Structures are given as C-alpha cells and as structure tokens.
Amino acid sequence: MEVTVVGAGLVGCLLTCYLARRGHEVTLYERRPDPREAGAERGRSINLAISERGLDALRRLGLEERVLSAALPMSGRMMHAQDGELTFQPYSADGRRSINSISRGDLNRLLLDEAAAQPGVTVRFGHRLTSMDEQTGRLEFDTPSGSVVEKASVVLGADGAFSAVRARLRNLPGVDYSQEYLDYGYKELTIPPGSGLSQGALHIWPRGSSMMIALPNPDGSFTCTLFWPLADFGIHDISGHFASVYPDAFALMPDLSADYAANPVGRLVTVRCSPWHVAGAGLVAGLVGDAAHAIVPFYGQGANCGFEDCVELDRCLDATGDDFGAALALFESRRKVNADTIASLALDNFVEMRDKVASRMFLAQKRVEHALERVLPGRYVSRYELVSFSTVPYAEVERRIAHQRRLVAAGALTLAAGAAVALRLLRRR
Ligand code: FAD
C-alpha cells in the first residue's frame, strides 16, 4: 500500500522503517533540507536521554546496538548545589541501570539513513505540508521551487509539536484540543571538553525558579539546557548571573556569552488532542509522536514515547490486517490514555527536578525507595524505574504505583500497630 509520512524527524523516520518492513511503499516528506548535508540547526541539537521504551522500539528493527554505539550511559543524576557540593543519586536501586545520552542530530541522521535505505521508500526534503483535504486526498506542499500538489490515501502526521496534519484535524467538528505553554523556555549552552565533569551522569543544577541540566557527549563536551522563566531570558548580564547562580558551571563555560547570544529560546508545550485520526472519502490520516501528544521534556520521555507509538501502531496494523482506518482507531484507543499519563508525569517532574531534588528530604525518600526495591525485588519498583527501564504502559505504571503505596502504607501501619502493642506490653511489666 502507498503511505505518506509527513515529518522526517525521529518518529517519522522510525515509523517509515516499520512501515517498509510491512511491505508498504512510503513517501516521507520533510520541510527542512536533508540534515545529512545541511548540518544541525544552531541551538537545536539538544541531547536526548533514550531509555528502555525507545531502545525496545529500536531493538525490534535491529537498530539498538548502532544507536547505543553513539550514546553514553548515565547511571544517575549528579546534583550541583550553589556552593559547589555534588550529590549523586542513582537512577536504579542496584545502581547499574542507565539512560543514554545521544545527540538528537546524530540519532536523526542514523534513522534517516536507515529509512532511506529501505526498499520502497522515497524521501522528499524541502517539502513543507501546507494543506490536506481528507475528502479528496489532496496534499499541498511548499517547496523551494514553489507549491507542489500530491494525492494520498493514507497520511501519517509525524510532523512534531506544531503539526500541520494536526492543524487540519483541529478544524474538524467534534475535535477536543488543548495546548498548554509553560511560562518557562529553554536555551542550549555548551561545556567544552576537558571540564572534568563525570561523563556517567546527567548533571542538574536545581535552583528553584530555574534549572540547568547537562548531558555528556562522546568528545568530552556537555550539552547544557537552561530552563528559565521566559521573561528572565532578556537579562543583560548573563555572565554575572551565572557567576552567582551557577558558579561551578560558569567556570567551565568560556563561550557562555556567545552561546547565549546566538542560541534561540525554545518554548515548552503540552498538546492534548482527540481524535488523533480522521477518515474522509479521499484519505485516512492519523497522528503519531509529538504531533499527537507533545509533552514537556522533564521525564526524558517524548522521543521514547514516540518510538513506542511506532511499536504500538505496528501491532495495530497486525491486528487489523493493515486496514489503516481501523488500525489508527485501535491505536488511539490503546495509546491515548498512556500519552495523557506521561504528559502529566512530565509536568510534575519539572517541579521535582528544579526544586525537590536539592532537598535532603527528597534524597532521603529516594534512598528509602531504593531500599524498598532491594528488600522487595520485583514487588516494589519506583515510578522512575517503571517509566525509564520498562515498557509497562504509562497508565499501568500509575496503577501499580498507587497499589504499591497502599501496600507500603498498610505495612507501615501494621509495623506501627505492632510497635505500639509491644510498647504497651513492656510498660505493663
Ligand atoms: P520532531 O522531532 O519535532 O520531528 C518533526 C519533523 O517534522 C521535523 O523534522 C520537522 O522539520 C518536520 N515537519 C514539521 N512540520 C512539517 C510540515 N508542515 N511539513 C513537513 N515536515 C514538517 N525526549 C526524550 O525521549 N528524551 C529526552 O531526553 C528529551 N529531551 C528533550 C529536551 C528538550 C529541550 C525538548 C524540547 C524535547 C526533548 N525530548 C526528549 C522530546 C523529543 O525531542 C520529542 O518528543 C521528539 O523529538 C518527537 O519526535 P517527532 O518525530 O514526533 O517530532
């Protein structure tokens, strides 16, 4: 079958590989020029943490090893206090599990190479979708040489948080849609090689109303992301600000002022939309990845979740004999609740990362959590581990966490009651 995928980002490329494996002929349209020739956009190369959900989707296509060979494992968070004190907090109870830092550009190029190499796949760069008519199947693209019109019968929108495919769906009657911008933005900064920072950790500078993180690169440099209220990005003396708020990082950032001036401020949005698909007389269209469910990056799950979408859609195509209309409806019925759950968790985690990780109480709670995991292996697993090191559906993770909490509360009550009885008996003696 001929399938049109819009957006050759992370999810569009992986989805194309999955569709080609099923024997479909895929045309992949991308608004940008070929990134393998044009290079990365400045200030948009933010690293990604890829964890089990993403790896599982890559593994199923035999791509895991290649991706991991370009990645660096991070086994925990390294917190940088304002006075320079460092505290390491492992991500897993046994301290052995890691999430993986990889350059977004490298990962995109690798997946693009893989997608373009599949039989039946055509990639058209410099094609920005501008309109889609589900009744006639007419698609219009803006290209460097003018407007181009194509026809399609199946369109999958993998065109990111500001999706043009979704824009068409949004205008249809009965569509439930919301987009929620944080009043925080982000900016990419760099720590060059030779900093001495540990390469095996995700570094965090939690400062309450702002936060910076840094992920390692194979050349020894770190890609930093500064999260800050939008209004504060207009600051005049960025060096003075860093010298007082992030003093240890400031000492490692010789190019801070130049990076700060050159790199754009990105916006952070959560998009909730339903339905994710439409079936008109002329075509069936559906959304995947950020186009369906853009989330804020604080759980490191946006791309992981989008990769998991590809696995789920592949399963739905199996279940429906490649009937795309039925598969997209099934996909949404299985996936939407999970996308909504990770969207909420990602928003909650912002508060945890910028604020709570710095508190002694939070660190003590994490130690108790890891101790429970060691005492009750497989029966008590932290939310972070279930989200990052398993493929348990996100909504199921939340049910499991609620159940575990009830068990621990009941256990604590039993212990407290036992202790009270023992105390009473002792007093009677
Ligand atoms: P995108 O990557 O946005 O790709 C969409 C593609 O569609 C692009 O190539 C774009 O050019 C193209 N396109 C757009 N409009 C059109 C059009 N009209 N016509 C044709 N082509 C079009 N996720 C993680 O899993 N781990 C992380 O650690 C992580 N960190 C993040 C940090 C930051 C600061 C941010 C902002 C996000 C982070 N994410 C992370 C989320 C992750 O980047 C996204 O979830 C992921 O990129 C979504 O992939 P996608 O392919 O759906 O969309």
Give residue-wise pLDDT tens across range 127-165: 999 999 999 999 999 999 999 999 999 999 999 999 999
In percent, how much of the chain has pLDDT > 70? 94
One domain for residues 338 and 367: no
**pLDDT score of 413:** 57
Q: Is 178 exposed, middle or buried (0-12, 13-18, 19+ CB in 10 A)?
A: exposed
DSSP notation for 101-124: EEEHHHHHHHHHHHHHTSTTEEEE
**Are 318 and 419 in the same domain?**
no
Residue 207 is encoded by which pair of tokens? 């400062």
- C-beta of residue 301 within 8 angstroms of C-beta of residue 343: no
Q: Residue 398's domain spans which residues? A: 361-428
Q: Whose CA is nearest to atom 8 of ligand 1?
A: 9
Q: Measured between alpha carbons, how far is 43 from 317 in angstroms, rounded to an integer? A: 37
- Examine the pLDDT at 421 and tell me if it is beyond 60: no
Confidence of residue 405 (pLDDT cuts 50, 70, 90): confident
Same domain, 313 and 173: yes
- Supply 379's token pair: 């029966």
Atom of ligand 1 nearest to the CA of 307: 49
Binding site membership of 159 for ligand 1 (Cβ less than 6 Å) = yes
Write the pLDDT tens digit of every residue in 225-284: 999 999 999 999 999 999 999 999 999 999 999 999 999 999 999 999 999 999 999 999
Q: Which letter, b or e, does each residue of 216-235 get, where b requires 16 or more Cβ atoms within 10 Å of its Cβ?
A: bbeeebbbbbbbbeeeebee
pLDDT of residue 229: 96
Q: List pLDDT tens digits, range 97-130.
A: 999 999 999 999 999 999 999 999 999 999 999 9
Q: Is residue 30 in contact with ligand 1, taking CB distance under 6 Å?
A: yes
Does 42 score more than 70 pLDDT?
no
Give the number of other Cβ atoms within 10 Å of residue 388's Cβ.
22
Task: Give the CATH number for residue 6.
Answer: 3.50.50.60
| Model pLDDT, residue 414 | 62
Residue 104 within any structural domain of the chain: yes
The CA distance from 130 to 31, in Å, is 10
Q: Which atom of ligand 1 is nearest to the CA of 305?
A: 25
In whole angstroms, give the CA distance from residue 223 to residue 48.
Answer: 10
Asked whether residue 179 is domain-assigned, the answer is: yes
3-state secondary structure of 182: strand
Q: Which pair of tokens denotes residue 322?
A: 């490649």
Smallest CA separation from ligand 1 atom 3, residue = 160
CB 423 within 8 A of CB 130: no
Number of domains into which the chain is organized: 2
Domain boundary among the residues 344, 375, 398 is at 344
**Ligand 1 mean position, distance from CA 45 (Å):** 11
Alpha helices (H) in 300-359, listed in sequence order: 302-320, 324-354
Which is the closest atom of ligand 1 to the Cα of 301?
25
Residue 173 binned pLDDT confidence (cut-offs 50, 70, 90):
confident
Q: Is the pLDDT of residue 360 over 90?
A: no
Do both 270 and 392 map to the same domain? no
- Of the pLDDT bands very low, low, confident and very high (cuts 50, 70, 90), residue 425 is low
CA 28 – CA 67 distance, rounded (Å): 21
* 3-class secondary-structure state, position 175: coil
Q: Which of 104, 78, 72 is nearest to 91 (CA)?
A: 78
- Residue 113: predicted pLDDT: 97
Residue 208 lies in a domain: yes
